[in-house]
Amino acid sequence: MKKQILYATAALLVAILAVTACGGGTTPTAAPPPTTATQPTTAPEATTAPATTAPQATTAPSGSATKLQLLGWSSSDAENNLLNTIVDQFNKSQTQYTASFDPSPNYDQALQTALAGGAPPDVFYVDSLKFPDLMKNNVLATPPANAIQDPDDFYPSLKAAFTANGTFYCPPKDFSTLALIYNKKMLDAAGVKPPTTWDELKAAAEKLTDSSKGVYGLALSADAARWVAFLYQAGGTVLDANGKMNIDTPEAKVALDYYTGLLAAGYAVTPDKVDSGWNGEAFGKEKVAMVVEGNWMVPFLKSDFPNVEYDIAELPAGPKGKATMAFTVCYGVPKNGAHLDGSWQFVNALTNKQGMKEWTDLGLAMPTRKSLRDGWVQKFPNLKVFLDGADYSHPWQFGPGFTVVTDAINKGIQEIAAGQATSESVLKTVQKAGEDVLAQ
């Protein structure tokens, strides 16, 4: 008897295991920020310096050179290949170091383990949202003098995202901004011009909505990374000038009421309402006429929805003017890295003017250096709106541990849209969540 029970249990366990194994896939997260990127440096340029190694000069560099690891995440094939090309150029430009780009699955976990375990990569991607966390844990190395070529050439808002206590820690490799992407045919058919203000946006969304056909004016996901742009447009902030949580304000209420009001009125929908995983998919399926998304939409629409005709406009201005979000990633060097000199040479090769030009010449990533702006816009005139966003953008960055706060915002938007909460109560909750995180 006992035996049968055991067999049955074993069989059951196996069955459960088999079933759960089938469901183990991770769902792709909807719409995170930064696109891709790393920058390539092209030519060796000034980096070489007198660093040539003495003993091994005659042998192949790969055998004797010190290895440098660039830890990052994987982007599109085109970008991975380009980055590898640029890394190769760095390797050929000098004989002391051999760098390799190692894209990792589960990037955050891989990085955290390597840092905590005392074996950090020589260079790694730092997302602007995570930069405060890394500062709090004091893991980033201070760049030596002149390690970063012409630091004032970077857009001030992007430079500020990686500056703490007056030190510019790591050069941003590229960035993305939000803009209003609209379906040309749908706007023409409804006789609507691309909206430039909140009022026009609301009117346009109303006109473009035909709920009997399941078509809506705008897709707005319950996502802090979209709503915060509206917050800045309304003159609100997340943190005040002193870094204190400051979201429970009349301006924030205006922004939240406007955003959720569009949803409540039925002129805007969350993408799941039109059977889509994220705003971009709803747009590609032509279920919505407009979306607030970033330049990652361009390659996405090209590959998945090549027949949709679209154009790009600046985000409509709010009561306090224009604002957009900038998502950016920098090349960080760890404080306890084993080859700091090589790391900085490598970072410079990737982000100096020549390296960044090569990296951004694909048109997927945007240059973070002002000096490259004109050349890039000439090459990709249709993406000008995204690059122009740099002038009035706010970095996607708050304080350490703020994923808790952005989660609270996401949840709040959902609850308001479902009629389960008011904007006052949500802002109070978010304010409290932020204060708690900052107090830690």
Partner 1 sequence: MAQQAQAIHVPATRAAGGAPAWLVSLATIFRYLILFAFALIFLAPFIFAIANSFKTAPQIAQDALNLIPNPFTLENYLKLTRGAANVPLWTFNSLLFAGVVTVGRVFLCSLAGYALARISFPGRNIVFLAVLATMMIPGVVLLIPRFIILKQMNLLATYPGGILPILVDAFGIFLMKQFFESLPGEVEEAARIDGATPFQIFWRVSLPMATAPLIALTIFAFQGTWNELQHFLIALGPTARDLWPLTLGLATLRGAGVGQQLDFGLFLAGSILMTLPMALIFIVFQRYFVESSSHSAVKG
User: Do residues 420 and 403 lie in contact, with contact meaning Cβ atoms separated by under 8 Å?
Assistant: no
Stretch that binds partner 1, among 5-13, 54-62, 156-164, 260-268 (CB under 8 A): 5-13
Question: Minimum distance from CB of 270 to partner 1 (Å)?
Answer: 14
x/- mask, partner 1, residues 294-313, rule CB under 8 A, reads: --xx-xx--xxxxx------
Buried b (16+ CB within 10 A) or exposed e, 115-126: beeeebbbbbbb
x/- mask, partner 1, residues 9-28, rule CB under 8 A, reads: -xx-xx--xx--xx-xxx-x
For position 283 contacting partner 1 by CB under 8 A, the verdict is no
Among 61, 103, 261, 400, binds partner 1 (CB under 8 A): 103
Question: Of the two residues 102 and 200, which places its CB atom closer to partner 1 in the complex?
Answer: 102
Among 50, 55, 63, 117, binds partner 1 (CB under 8 A): 117
For position 278 contacting partner 1 by CB under 8 A, the verdict is yes
User: Do residues 373 and 158 lie in contact, with contact meaning Cβ atoms separated by under 8 Å?
Assistant: no
Question: Minimum distance from CB of 307 to partner 1 (Å)?
Answer: 8
Among 52, 59, 62, 81, binds partner 1 (CB under 8 A): 81
Among 45, 56, 61, 107, binds partner 1 (CB under 8 A): 107
Strand-pairing partners, residue 66, are 97
Distance CA 83, CA 38 (A): 6
For position 191 contacting partner 1 by CB under 8 A, the verdict is no
For position 336 contacting partner 1 by CB under 8 A, the verdict is no
Token duo for residue 375: 């050349």
Question: Minimum distance from CB of 261 to partner 1 (Å)?
Answer: 26
Among 35, 41, 177, 328, binds partner 1 (CB under 8 A): 35
Among 38, 39, 40, 71, binds partner 1 (CB under 8 A): 71
Among 51, 60, 119, 189, binds partner 1 (CB under 8 A): 119
Task: Give 53: exposed, middle or buried? Use CB within 10 Å, 0-12, 13-18, 19+.
Answer: middle
For position 401 contacting partner 1 by CB under 8 A, the verdict is no
Question: Minimum distance from CB of 333 to partner 1 (Å)?
Answer: 17
Question: If binding means CB under 8 A, how many residues of this protein chain bind partner 1?
Answer: 66
User: Do residues 106 and 73 lie in contact, with contact meaning Cβ atoms separated by under 8 Å?
Assistant: no
Please report, as ranges, the residues that interact with partner 1 according to CB under 8 A. Answer: 1-4, 6-7, 10-11, 13-14, 17-18, 21-22, 24-26, 28-36, 69, 71, 73-77, 80-81, 100, 102-107, 109-110, 112-114, 116-119, 277-278, 280-281, 284-285, 296-297, 299-300, 303-307
